[in-house]
Chains A and B, each alone.
Chain A
Amino acid sequence: MEIEYLKENWESSNAALERGSQSRKNIDPRQKTTLQRLASRYRRMAIVSAVSLCWVMPLYFRLSEENPDTPLFYPLVMVAFFLIAAGMDYWLCRGIQSIDCATMSVETVLKKVYFYRKRHIQFIFILMPIALLIVYLMLAMFNFEKYALLGAACGFMVGLAFGLKILFDFMRDYKQVLN
């Protein structure tokens, strides 16, 4: 009964939507789709990460002038962080751009979207320890001063809460979508 219900109402619904004025709003072909905007965002972040490499060594040399004991390890960790972030964002950008809604099947698009979304979250788990290490090194440069420690702790708690929420939401959606 319910399938017949759906069939009858689907046809009349589409006919009503066809008649409605809302269906015919003008489309601006110069705009980008959601996936194109996402790819642009990844590309921008890759460029920002790559450009950020430029200030790491000058900062190290500047700090070395005041404190000659500053280890070379500090800037190398930052360089590694930005290189990995730039590479990951570029890879994600290319991946999202490869999704073609006009030629691929629905299952392929679904799998690709969730694959890249999963990789994005996995990359965060790769970058997070390096970011924490950088925060630790910067605290060390400030000699573990009280307020610096408090700020770092607050930022860590807030970031952790947001990250876990996004992770659990994603895993729930992932199971539902490909079920």
Chain B
Amino acid sequence: MNLELEIGFSSRAETAGFAFRQWRRRVGQRLLRMAAAVAEAVVPERVKNRERMFAELSRDYAGLIAGICLSFARSEEDFQDLRQDTFLNIWNGLAAFRRDSSLSTWIYRVTLNTCVSSQRKKTRREEVQMDELYATLYEDSPTEEIERYKLMYRLIGMLSPLDKSIVLMWIDGKSYEEIRSVTGLSRDSVASRLKRAKGKLADFYNKVKND
């Protein structure tokens, strides 16, 4: 093709320059395609699996994670921080997940560990904030249901972090063996702490109902 005639360059230098830029663009595109192919071949199976797994976990266990974080949270800011930290720990821990336990047990482990490592006291202002948070989180639920959930979290919130962990797993139907593996306690300790926690919950429940 005669570039001078087709495009109307005034000198050979301009023609050469244009040809060089076209060549550079084609080489650059070819290099990018090769790099993408190499990346596709070398890295992504593991990365894609991790991203896919994280997306599935975020979808399937979002409610459970939110419920556990709500049990430990002292304020809306606390709840958002705990949720964020939990998902970050799940993302970081997915690479090391060895499938020696079920996925839901592992989610319990990560979420409970994230929550117990961030414990602090609740102030009066935060109690008010929590009421607003419940209204936001349960926006589709009727008022009577929200009141029942608030009472449930109030009861659970009165336990120590370790007892809370045991009770949450137990009311979700986890076996003693799963509770033992997540909490790190012996089977007898789990049983005795659970029995003690049930007694405390009964006392708290009666006290709250009488109030």
A31 to B88, Cβ gap below 8 A? yes
Collect the chain B residues with CB atoms within 8 Å of residue A10's CB.
67, 152, 168, 171-172
Q: Which residues of B contact A20 (CB under 8 A)?
A: 66, 137-140
**Bound: A108/B161 CA distance, A:** 13
- Chain B nearest CB: distance from A15 CB in Å? 6
- A17–B7 Cα gap in the complex (Å)? 64
Chain B residue with the shortest CB-CB distance to A29? B91
List B contacts of A33 (CB < 8 A).
84-85, 88-89, 114
Please tell me if A16 contacts chain B, counting CB pairs below 8 Å: yes
Total interface residues on A, CB under 8 Å, equals: 49
Q: Mark A6-35, 1 if CB is under 8 A from B, else 0.
A: 110111111111111111110101011111
Q: Is A110 an interface residue (CB 8 A)?
A: yes
A174 CB to nearest chain B CB (Å)? 10
Residues of chain A having any CB pair with chain B under 8 Å: 1-3, 5-7, 9-25, 27, 29, 31-35, 99-110, 113, 169, 173, 176-179
Q: Which 7 A-B pairs have the closest CB atoms?
A: A105-B184, A102-B93, A18-B63, A101-B113, A2-B205, A107-B184, A14-B63
Cβ contacts A to B, 11 pairs, < 8 Å = A12-B145, A14-B67, A16-B149, A20-B140, A29-B88, A33-B84, A33-B85, A34-B81, A34-B85, A113-B119, A177-B161
